[in-house]
Structures are given as structure tokens and as C-alpha cells.
Amino acid sequence: MAQPSGNRIYLPALSEAGVAIEKRIIFSIGHYLRPCMVELIDCTNVLMQGYRIINMPF
């Protein structure tokens, strides 16, 4: 079974190795890398008013 810390290294390693995005199978049995719940990229003036997380798994 894969370890969570190893999976955080796994994704960048696939990218650096030139593996195509559609072939990067990391969210399957034995992998525990979770996608970001909220990921703001190249944003300015973002207001998340009233944002709540219920039963967060981490």
C-alpha cells in the first residue's frame, strides 16, 4: 500500500519525467493524494465570504 507522503513526491516526479497528464493516474486504489479543496491560481482581490468546511477529512 502506498504511503501518503510518497504520493506528494510522486506527482511532481511524473511531471518531471514527461508523463502526459492523462496518463498520471494518482487518484486510484493505493494512492492517497487528495486534490485541493480550493485552489486559487493567478487571482487578485478574492473574497470568500461565508465559506465553511464541514466534516473536513484533514
Q: Which domain holds residue 24?
A: 1-58
pTM score: 0.42
- What's the domain count of the chain? 1
Long-range contacts from 12-21, C-beta under 8 angstroms, 24+ separation? none
Give which of 10, 41, 43, 52 is closest to 27, Cα–Cα: 10
Q: pLDDT per residue over 5-18, tens digit each?
A: 567 777 788 889 99
Q: pLDDT per residue over 1-58, tens digit each?
A: 445 556 777 778 888 999 888 887 766 677 666 667 778 889 999 998 998 888 776 5
